[in-house]
């Protein structure tokens, strides 16, 4: 294919075959298509330029995009236009999310529909429903091993019920987030079953090899993701007598995006979710979608090209759906998922602020903010128009994947520092209040990640066991401080269900053979709705954590400067235990300060005079009181694990 000009007639051909009304009815869509066409072509060419059927597949791509648009309900098209009109609708301080497993939270989708008032009460208007599409019980990885991308698993209900929930949510001003598991399918997916039966067309959907020759070459550079429960990156399939690439669990077969059929099918699945009314699509494990022998098979340039192509296609057909790239990788690599060079802010709209999340836990254990501050050079590079998912816990483990230099910059030894953190959170460190566990320990590399619920990691489980009321209230304080830090940082705060009530680890997973090998289930609780009622009883832990979280969200919604407009400046570290940032928008300026130390901390008032005009009065939204800014040798006093949300009063 020489140039774009020789292919442009394809667009006309597809438009006229599909009855697209360029001038009137479909004008906005046609403009978007014409604007995005060139990028679409070049991105597609970058991946499949050498394919003998390049032109055929490019035409199929255009057709898929047009079909997705044609199948889109009018109400969703209207929502698209409204969102486009607002511009970057997802940066707003008015959004606050929660991630939950439908079955563990309330049983099924039908019941979820009746629980929407609970989210409203808390102040959550954005729901991430953990995977609900068909996935074999016992070999499901929490739904991330999908056997049918379009059928809701009967455990949760039906597609019709999902649509009803979504409609009700939209009506109530809520937003929906679902996953697309792009990197792999379950080995029970129809494509894998056909591959097992020997069909070469479907074998080409996966990375399948007759002997260990190529797998061995791959293995030399590929790290292991689940070294304890799923060592290695290939699995022997006795059904087809071949080795299959399985980077995650042995039952999750990696998809081969070198085959354009795979992209076509998966893009159509993406559009299927868009047309269900998804507002934010979480692209699971995007770092892994392109493989090349001799590399780590993570974060490769073509993985980014694929994501850019997907973004471009979505932007044309279903532009109201934003994309979140779940890249839990090194800080510098995470940034690239927002796009680079001419694709800056044109790849994923969101990424998880996994570096900051892990560093919050680093600060809580060490009581020091230095490593976190060293990391900011990287984190602050996020382009305008994109956003973070900010969080303290999610369904996964906490990985200490930030760079060694960030630790070294503070004079610490990275190995010893990480060992301390792992010991602290697994409860091995003497007098540690935390009750978590190590996840995926790799004896070959010494790596390990951390499992455990927010409350248990903050010491609540141990405090309750010991009946120690001082420790209980300190744990509650830690929970709220950790939440506040993430809620005001900038980005879409995503709470993890159960954390709003301070729920401790749930060990029931140990009795389920489909889960017992994976200790991440300890922090994926089954909700007892009688217990949830305790949020209304003053004095209970549930009440304190729920009302505290509710207040934090109410404050967030009042303050436009908390929206994510690349408007954060870190305060100088005048006190090693105190992290502080200034958020500003127009006239509004808000200093958020957090004491990660277990002792009372003093912060010089000078800290508030380094950015612009020095304020004289601050209003603290958290304690609902005024603070008069003192002299430089006077201090703001923060109680252990205390925090303030201080707005400059003019
Ligand atoms: C993502 C999910 C994780 C899952 C993995 C494989 O990282 O968050 O839970 O195990 O992908 O799909």
Mean pLDDT across 230-257: 97
52-78: buried (b, 16+ CB within 10 Å) or exposed (e) per residue? eebeebbbbbbbbbbbbbeebeeebbe
pLDDT value for 6: 56
Residue 507, Cβ density class (10 Å: 0-12 exposed, 13-18 middle, ≥19 buried): exposed
Residue 140: closest CA among 71, 100, 187: 187
Measure the CA–CA gap between 258 and 289, rounded to whole angstroms. 10
- Spatial CB neighbours of 533, under 8 Å, sequence gap ≥ 6: none
pLDDT above 90 for 5: no
Cα of 166 vs centre of ligand 1, distance in Å, is 24
How many residues are recorded in the chain?
650
Average pLDDT over residues 101-123: 98
Q: What is the mean pLDDT of the chain?
A: 96
Topology of the domain covering 184-254: Oligo-1,6-glucosidase; domain 2 (3.90.400)
pLDDT, tens digit, for every residue of 513-526? 999 999 999 999 99
**Ligand 1 pocket, 226 CB below 6 A?**
no
- pLDDT single digits (tens) 339-387: 999 999 999 999 999 999 999 999 999 999 999 999 999 999 999 999 9
Please state, in angstroms and as integers, the Cα–Cα distance from residue 427 to each residue in 421, 430, 462, 499, following that order.
Answer: 10, 8, 10, 20
555, 621 in Cβ contact below 8 A? yes
Using CA atoms, how far residue 458 sits from 57, 372, 595, in Å, is: 52, 18, 14
| Alpha-carbon separation of residue 550 from 177, 404, 518, 538 (angstroms) | 21, 37, 32, 14
Question: Please, which contacts does 465-473 make with residues 24 or more away whose CB atoms are closer than 8 Å?
Answer: 471/433, 472/541
According to the model, what pLDDT value does residue 2 have?
Answer: 46
Q: What distances in angstroms separate CA 277 from CA 73, 76, 119, 131, 178, one per listed residue?
A: 9, 7, 19, 16, 10
pLDDT at 408 over 50: yes
- What number is the average pLDDT over the span 457-476? 98
Determine the atom of ligand 1 nearest the C-alpha atom of 226: 10
Q: How confident is the model over 180-228, as pLDDT tens digits?
A: 999 999 999 999 999 999 999 999 999 999 999 999 999 999 999 999 8
Position 307 scores a pLDDT of 98
587 counts as catalytic:
no
CATH 3.90.400.10 positions along the chain are 184-254
Q: Is the CB of 144 under 6 A from ligand 1?
A: yes
For residue 376, how many other CB atoms are within 10 A of its CB? 18
Name the CATH code of domain 567-648 (choices 3.20.20.70, 2.60.40.1180, 3.30.390.30, 3.40.50.300).
2.60.40.1180
| Confidence at 8, pLDDT banded by 50, 70, 90 | confident
Among 396, 399, 401, 440, name the best residue to mutate to test ligand 1's pocket (greatest count of ligand atoms within 8 A of Cβ). Answer: 396
Residue owning the nearest CA to atom 2 of ligand 1: 284
Structure pTM?
Answer: 0.97
Do 644 and 623 form a contact (C-beta atoms < 8 A)?
Answer: yes
Kindly report, residue by residue over 281-336, the tens digit of the pLDDT: 999 999 999 999 999 999 999 999 999 999 999 999 999 999 999 999 999 999 99
Cβ–ligand 1 distance for 102 under 6 Å, the answer no
Over pLDDT 90: what percentage of the chain? 97
Active site residue 103: no
Smallest CA separation from ligand 1 atom 3, residue: 396
pLDDT at 403 over 90: yes
Residue-level pLDDT at 4: 52
- What is the rounded CA–CA span in Å between residue 202 and residue 230? 24
The atom number, within ligand 1, closest to the CA of 248 reads 6
Residues of the chain with CATH 2.60.40.1180: 567-648
> Is residue 1 over pLDDT 70?
no
Mean pLDDT of 541-552: 98
Q: Is the pLDDT of residue 446 over 90?
A: no
């Amino acid at each position: 294919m020489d140039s774009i000009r020789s292919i442009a007639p394809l667009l006309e051909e597809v438009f006229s075959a599909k009855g697209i009304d360029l001038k009137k009815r479909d004008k906005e869509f046609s403009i978007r298509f014409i604007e995005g066409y060139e990028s679409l072509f070049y991105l597609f060419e970058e991946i499949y330029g050498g394919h003998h059927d390049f032109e055929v597949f490019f035409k199929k791509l255009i057709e898929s995009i047009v079909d997705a648009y044609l199948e889109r309900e009018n109400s969703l098209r209207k929502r698209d236009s409204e969102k486009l009109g607002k511009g970057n609708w997802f940066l707003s301080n008015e959004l606050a999310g929660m991630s939950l497993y439908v079955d563990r939270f309330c049983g099924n989708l039908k019941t979820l529909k009746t629980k929407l008032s609970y989210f409203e009460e808390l102040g959550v208007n954005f729901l991430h429903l953990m995977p609900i599409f068909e996935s074999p019980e016992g070999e499901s990885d929490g739904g991330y091993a999908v056997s049918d991308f379009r059928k809701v698993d009967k455990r949760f209900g039906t597609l019709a019920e999902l649509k009803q929930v979504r409609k009700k949510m939209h009506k109530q001003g809520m937003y929906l987030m679902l996953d697309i598991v792009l990197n792999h399918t379950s080995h029970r997916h129809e494509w894998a079953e056909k591959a097992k039966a020997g069909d070469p067309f479907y074998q080409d959907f996966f990375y399948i090899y007759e002997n260990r020759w190529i797998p061995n070459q791959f293995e030399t550079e590929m790290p292991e993701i689940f070294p304890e429960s799923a060592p290695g990156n290939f699995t022997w399939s006795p059904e087809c007598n071949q080795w299959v690439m399985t980077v995650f669990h042995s039952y999750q077969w990696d998809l081969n995006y070198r085959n354009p059929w795979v992209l076509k099918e998966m893009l159509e699945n993406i559009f299927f979710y868009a047309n269900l009314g998804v507002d934010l699509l979480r692209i699971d494990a995007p770092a892994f979608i392109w493989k090349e022998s001799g590399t780590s098979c993570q974060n490769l340039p073509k993985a980014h090209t694929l994501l850019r192509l997907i973004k471009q296609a979505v932007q044309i057909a279903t532009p109201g759906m934003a994309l979140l790239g779940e890249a839990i990788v090194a800080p510098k690599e995470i940034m690239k998922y927002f796009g680079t060079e001419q694709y800056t802010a044109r790849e994923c709209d969101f990424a998880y602020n996994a570096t900051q999340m892990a560093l919050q836990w680093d600060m809580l254990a060490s009581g020091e903010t230095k490593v976190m501050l060293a990391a900011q050079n990287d984190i602050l590079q996020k382009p305008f128009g994109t956003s973070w998912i900010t969080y303290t816990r999610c369904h996964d483990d906490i990985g200490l994947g930030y760079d060694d230099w960030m630790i070294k910059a503070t004079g610490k030894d990275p190995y010893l520092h990480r060992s301390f953190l792992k010991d602290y959170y697994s409860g091995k460190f003497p007098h540690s209040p935390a009750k978590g566990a190590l996840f995926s320990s790799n004896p070959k590399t010494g790596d390990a990640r951390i499992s455990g619920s927010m409350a248990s990691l903050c010491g609540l489980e141990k405090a309750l066991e010991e009946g120690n009321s001082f420790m209980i209230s300190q744990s509650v304080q830690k929970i709220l401080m950790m939440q506040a830090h993430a809620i005001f940082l900038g980005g879409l705060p995503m709470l993890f269900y159960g954390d709003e009530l301070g729920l401790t680890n749930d060990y029931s997973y140990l009795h389920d053979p489909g889960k017992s090998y994976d200790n991440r289930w300890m922090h994926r609780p089954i909700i007892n709705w009688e217990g949830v009622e305790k949020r209304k009883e003053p004095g209970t832990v549930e009440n304190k954590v729920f009302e505290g979280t509710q207040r934090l969200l109410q404050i967030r919604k009042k303050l436009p400067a908390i929206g994510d407009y690349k408007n954060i400046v870190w305060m100088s570290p005048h006190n090693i235990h105190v992290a502080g940032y200034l958020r500003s928008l127009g006239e509004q300026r808000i200093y958020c300060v957090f004491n990660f130390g277990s002792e009372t901390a003093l912060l010089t008032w000078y800290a508030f005079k380094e950015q612009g005009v020095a304020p004289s009065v601050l209003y603290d939204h958290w304690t609902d009181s005024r603070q008069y800014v003192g002299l430089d040798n006077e201090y703001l006093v923060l109680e252990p694990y205390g925090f303030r949300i201080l707005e400059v009063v003019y």
